[in-house]
Chains A and B, each alone.
Chain A
Amino acid sequence: MDGLNDLKMEKLADELKRGALHPRNLIQQCNKQVDRIESAINALNRETFDRAVARIDEWQYDPARPFSGIPYVQKDNICTTGIATDCSSMILQGFVPPYAATVDARALQAGFRLIGKSNMDEFSMGSSTEYSAWGPTMNPWDTGRVPGGSSGGSAAAVASGMAPLAFGSDTGGSVRQPAAFCGCVGLRPTYGRVSRWGLIAFASSLDQIGPITNTVRDAAHALMVIEGPDEFDSTLVQRPKENYFETIENGMSDLRVGVLDVSFADWVDTRVKESFEKNVAWFDGHAKSLQEISIKSFDMILAAYYIIAPAEVSSNLARFDGIQYGPSVDLKEEGKEVDENTAADLMDFYRKNRGQGFGPEVTRRIMLGTFALSSGYYDAYYQRAQKVRSRLRAEMDKLWTDVDVIISPTSPTPPFMLESATVDPYEMYQADRFVLMQAMAGCPAISVNGGWTEIDDDGVTKLVKSKRRNCFGKYTKRLPIGLQLTTAPFMEGNLLRAARTFEREHV
């Protein structure tokens, strides 16, 4: 094999099949890579290599499970039986689920080996993985920059060669944006395709689990492992697994492509525009047709998303009160003064546990959501936001009669510097503008690498000054820029085919 910097599931599976590689060695090499770079990247909340190599000597190649023996990383908001799952939050510290998420159970059943739980923005709230109780994850291409978020740990792990596959969750871009920032492939499946059982909820009506990989084909393989009916998720559209490989190499000359007009808006970074322009030119030559499309409600999506998601957050996170999980203060003893470690009464107990257990971004969203749902404000905020969502859905439903695939950048900017977005949360929310409409309309979308840009002066200075090297052991002057493809719900076949066609000619 030619180094671990570009791990591909398919290629590894082939080597395992041919006997050129044993999973023991593969996992050991991943372990070495983690040992080498984890201190600089901080992608993992915990490593599980011990488990990954358990009974590895009994491993035998099984054609029914071609990926058996291949390592993967699980985002730390996806429950893993017997392995701590804390959502990078103080309030869930030490929580060991006695059950596995359906996605994790299916990965294990397919023979994948879990090597670690990945860092994330606390409870997935954030776009930079800086809002983690366990410290930020760094972008493997430039450790002075963020890897995106909230599945930044997963994307960084794949980009830095820790594993060929990591799962993330995408509520408003949390798989696609970090994949774009780390130069990987990030897939958000249709809402209702992949079971949410065992995914610690952020915003239930938007959350979807998706794979982060180095290739589109690997993403398709991973999706086929985790999708399919599951009685434990009532919002799942119960439908059989699909085989995307029947068409994935068929090209896209039959697909009509729509270019989202705001891709060239003034709030989009010029380097992103340049890269995207090249992408558009390529599609012009390969798609059946190309046209500009616009979404009238586009400008309202961000506001609507930041009402609906926090509203659900305020309710989903209510269970974290210090009674069942996480550290909690004591009730004050008779005759003693109340201090920060004791509570005067039940309300004070809740206030202190939650106040101390949640980080700033989670607290902000809980408060936003609580406000939006309050009587007197419900109609003005939550109800109106739902109307925007319905309108967007209707609008997009109509769009799919004209085009089959919509393309846009994944993020309006290249990966930004650490600490540059956390100052102003509203600035950070802007970074999500291209990735929210899919979540709000329930459409599948994929981010693939669309191009590269030179690091600007500021970044280079920092890179040199800090003597940081990227995970490849080299200095690099390049940063990845993501390209996003979107299709109608349950049209992952087209989505993966178009993305694969693009990737085939670009990587």
Chain B
Amino acid sequence: MIKDYVPTIGIEVHTQLKTDSKMFCGCSTSFGNRPNTHTCPVCLGMPGSLPRVNRKAVVLGLKAARALHCAIPPIAQFARKNYFYPDLPKGYQITMYRFPLGTEGHIDLMNEHDKLSKGRGIERVHLEEDTAKLFHEGAAGTYIDFNRAGLPLLEIVSKPEISSGSEAVRYLKELKRLLWFLDISDANMEEGNLRCELNISLSPEDSGVLGTRVEVKNLNSFRAVEHAIEFEIKRQTKILAGGQKIRMETRGWDENIDKTVHHRFKETVSEYRYFPEPDLPNLTLEGDIMNESAFDLNNIPARRVSELIDRFGVPPFGANLMMSGTGVSEENPYYMADFLIEAIDRHGAQGTQTANLITGTVFEFVNKTGRMLDETDLTPKMLAEITKMVSRDELSITNAKKALNLLLEHGGKVKDVVQREGFVQVTDEDELVTLVREVMEENEQIVETIRKGKETAIGALVGEAMKKSKGQADPRRVNELLTELILFKRNQT
């Protein structure tokens, strides 16, 4: 009998914090420079040099810990993780061990039903420094670039509560969005400033024991994470079902073959000889540093998305698009959401309609022109005016979008644009009746087919009427009038 195995997955994320200087020295963190140009005695680990904590990194780390609802201990402590490797200039990495920045948290997540939910648990959040980068040049030897050495990293360790590839990706996407929106990290996987490692183990259903852990590294995309998990579950299931044992090992994701491959076996727990970093005093996590890292928890992106959906009636797709952060503003990633809410709350725009207008038209515009929404002259008030005209049937949706585009492009007043472009919708009953009669006369054949029962053909006549009125006729009323005049007459005869 083949047993069912339950996967237990934990994810370790390392993200590079958005600071100007490194974790323990003043060197620049800028990316893509000539090797070893952003170095100093501290990040080269030269004898006699001493680390000094980058306060900004602590603030950002705390912000992340708080956004992940972690308990913040009164004191955090740097520790040394000792091991030998050429990318580690001091022979140890300064990290946090017994006293991290935050413990026991969880992530706010939009679940598959687009509801805000308490997502997977966070075990710990701590600060550390990055290692140097090695370039293996074959026979020419190995080169070391210390520009990366000492970059500030935040390690976020999830609890082993994830059970599938899609769940892992959902967690990672939400984490990435959180880090990016709260300006904690660029969180770009491709550039390597968001890196993740998986711990996957399988155990027989209801056994209550955890299986042997396999580590997977080299994951540089969400796709890689998802596939690696799916692959590992299959691979380990096969081994276990065959009555064999899983060995503790580190595997790497190989993109080319879409598989994980063996790196090395880890028969014992690694010996890092952690001890408190004597060169740095403990961090007291109260007072100024807590004020500096404080922010409105309602700005956690998942919460903003949920607010847009639940309170403002924005469809989930649009809400997520608005909270994707692209094309909106260099300074304020929430600009679009703020914009919409201001239009609704302060200027009386109607929610769903505004949302549709803004997501569709504005994204088309920013994609086409490369301009940011906050660089245009469009204001929430203008948007509200347009939507109000639409709901009063003074403006068709088509023309509203056109008007919005013109306003985005050139600015100006809503009224002026609508009038200049002749977007005002004709609602005068007499004018409309005249229009409809003219259309009926010009399309007698269609009128005949409608009378014979093919009522759907009315649409064609509505189109003709709209064309004739240059889009200014109220299409709903035109439809009503056509129905009335054609079908009502038929019934009379």
Q: List residues 137-184 of chain A with CB under 8 A from any CB of chain B.
A: none
**Judging by beta carbons under 8 Å apart, are B84 and A318 in contact?**
yes
Select which of A205, A233, A318, A370 is within 8 A of B92 by beta carbon: A318
Q: List residues 443-494 of chain A with CB under 8 A from any CB of chain B.
A: none
Known: A196-B50, A319-B91, A374-B273. A234 touches B281 (CB 8 A): yes
Question: Does A375 make an interface contact (CB < 8 A)?
Answer: yes
**Judging by beta carbons under 8 Å apart, are A204 and B52 in contact?**
no
**Judging by beta carbons under 8 Å apart, are B279 and A204 in contact?**
yes
Question: Does A186 make an interface contact (CB < 8 A)?
Answer: no
Nearest-Cβ distance from residue B302 to partner chain A, whole angstroms: 37
Question: Does B53 make an interface contact (CB < 8 A)?
Answer: yes
Question: Does B271 make an interface contact (CB < 8 A)?
Answer: yes
A374 to B271 alpha-carbon distance, docked (Å): 7
Q: List residues 88-107 of chain A with CB under 8 A from any CB of chain B.
A: 92, 95, 97-99, 101
A-B contact count (CB 8 A): 100
A189 to B103 alpha-carbon distance, docked (Å): 39
Question: Does B275 make an interface contact (CB < 8 A)?
Answer: yes
Residues of A within 8 A of B90 (CB): 318-319
**Judging by beta carbons under 8 Å apart, are A315 and B47 in contact?**
no
Question: Does B485 make an interface contact (CB < 8 A)?
Answer: no
Interface residue tally on A, bucketed by range:
35 or more
**Judging by beta carbons under 8 Å apart, are A199 and B48 in contact?**
yes
By beta carbon, the residue of chain A nearest B46 is A97
Question: Does B325 make an interface contact (CB < 8 A)?
Answer: no
Question: Does B41 make an interface contact (CB < 8 A)?
Answer: yes
Residues of B within 8 A of A97 (CB): 41, 46-48
A232 to B271 alpha-carbon distance, docked (Å): 31
Nearest-Cβ distance from residue B437 to partner chain A, whole angstroms: 87
Residues of B within 8 A of A77 (CB): 48
Digitize B50-64: 1 where CB-to-A-CB distance is under 8 Å, 0 elsewhere: 111100000000000
Select which of B91, B274, B275, B279 is within 8 A of A235 by beta carbon: B279
Select which of B49, B51, B53, B269 is within 8 A of A375 by beta carbon: B269
A314 to B52 alpha-carbon distance, docked (Å): 21
Residues of B within 8 A of A373 (CB): 82, 273-275
Q: List residues 182-201 of chain A with CB under 8 A from any CB of chain B.
A: 196-201
A199 to B48 alpha-carbon distance, docked (Å): 5
Select which of B52, B89, B278, B281 is within 8 A of A319 by beta carbon: B89
**Judging by beta carbons under 8 Å apart, are A198 and B91 in contact?**
no
> Chain B interface mostly helix, strand, loop or mixed?
loop
Question: Does A350 make an interface contact (CB < 8 A)?
Answer: yes
Residues of B within 8 A of A199 (CB): 48
Known: A315-B91, A321-B91. A233 touches B273 (CB 8 A): no
Q: List residues 62-81 of chain B with CB under 8 A from any CB of chain A.
A: 80
Q: How many residues of chain B get a CB closer than 8 Å to chain A's CBs? A: 29
Question: Does A115 make an interface contact (CB < 8 A)?
Answer: no
Residues of B within 8 A of A200 (CB): 47-48
Q: List residues 296-321 of chain A with CB under 8 A from any CB of chain B.
A: 311-312, 314-315, 317-321
Residues of B within 8 A of A235 (CB): 50, 278-281
Select which of A87, A101, A315 is within 8 A of B275 by beta carbon: A315
**Judging by beta carbons under 8 Å apart, are B275 and A197 in contact?**
no
A232 to B53 alpha-carbon distance, docked (Å): 10
Residues of A within 8 A of B426 (CB): none
Nearest-Cβ distance from residue A385 to partner chain B, whole angstroms: 11
Question: Does A56 make an interface contact (CB < 8 A)?
Answer: no
By beta carbon, the residue of chain B nearest A78 is B48
A324 to B152 alpha-carbon distance, docked (Å): 23
Question: Does A505 make an interface contact (CB < 8 A)?
Answer: no
Select which of B48, B273, B280 is within 8 A of A370 by beta carbon: B273
**Judging by beta carbons under 8 Å apart, are A314 and B47 in contact?**
no
Residues of A within 8 A of B274 (CB): 373
Residues of B within 8 A of A99 (CB): 41, 46, 48-49
**Judging by beta carbons under 8 Å apart, are A201 and B51 in contact?**
no
Digitize A368-379: 1 where CB-to-B-CB distance is under 8 Å, 0 elsewhere: 001001110010
Residues of A within 8 A of B150 (CB): none
Residues of A within 8 A of B46 (CB): 97, 99, 324
**Judging by beta carbons under 8 Å apart, are B48 and A234 in contact?**
no
By beta carbon, the residue of chain B nearest A86 is B47
Beyond A87-B47, A317-B91, list 13 extra A-B contacts (CB 8 Å).
A85-B48, A196-B50, A204-B279, A205-B278, A234-B52, A234-B281, A311-B275, A319-B47, A324-B45, A374-B271, A374-B273, A375-B269, A375-B273
Q: List residues of B whose CB falls within 8 A of some A CB.
A: 41, 44-53, 80, 82, 84-86, 89-92, 269, 271, 273-275, 278-281
Q: Report, nearest first, the 3 A-B pairs whose CB atoms are least far apart.
A: A318-B91, A205-B278, A373-B273
Q: List residues of A whose CB falls within 8 A of some B CB.
A: 77-79, 85, 87, 92, 95, 97-99, 101, 196-201, 203-205, 231-235, 311-312, 314-315, 317-321, 323-325, 346-347, 350, 370, 373-375, 378, 382
Interface CB pairs A-B, < 8 A, 16: A85-B48, A97-B46, A98-B41, A99-B46, A197-B48, A201-B47, A204-B278, A235-B50, A235-B281, A315-B80, A319-B45, A320-B91, A324-B46, A324-B89, A347-B84, A350-B84
